Amino acid sequence: MLRHQVFALVLGLAVFNGIFSPLVHLVAAYSLVWAPPWLPGDPSVVFYFSSLIVATTTLLVSGVPAALVERAIPASREAPGPNWIWAGVALVLCFPAMVRVLLMSGAVQ
């Protein structure tokens, strides 16, 4: 796979985690802290921005190990290795969301 395809995989994992993660409800519960006063208090708007916060956090946190590898090994900047590390960490961060999807679908009890 090319580097941009792996990056698209990372973005897809971040979106998946942003939608289905159990942390979305925790972020939504603290909406009075992070939401500006002009933002409508409609639950769908709060869910959308909470989902966006979780997805962005997933993207940023999963990129830290990849950035450390790129910094430690300068020759890996052009190799796809750090992108795969990024995708792997994003996949690990998606495990609670995957469990939640499996529980909602009834595949696991």
- Residue-wise pLDDT tens for the chain (109 aa)? 787 899 999 999 999 999 999 999 999 999 889 888 898 888 999 999 999 999 999 999 999 999 999 888 887 777 778 889 999 999 999 999 999 999 999 887 7
CA 31 to chain centre: 19
Q: Distance between CA atoms of 94 and 57, rounded to whole angstroms?
A: 12
Nearest-angstrom CA–CA distance, 101 and 106: 9
The whole-angstrom separation of Cα 57 and Cα 108 is 27
Q: Is the pTM of this model over 0.85?
A: yes
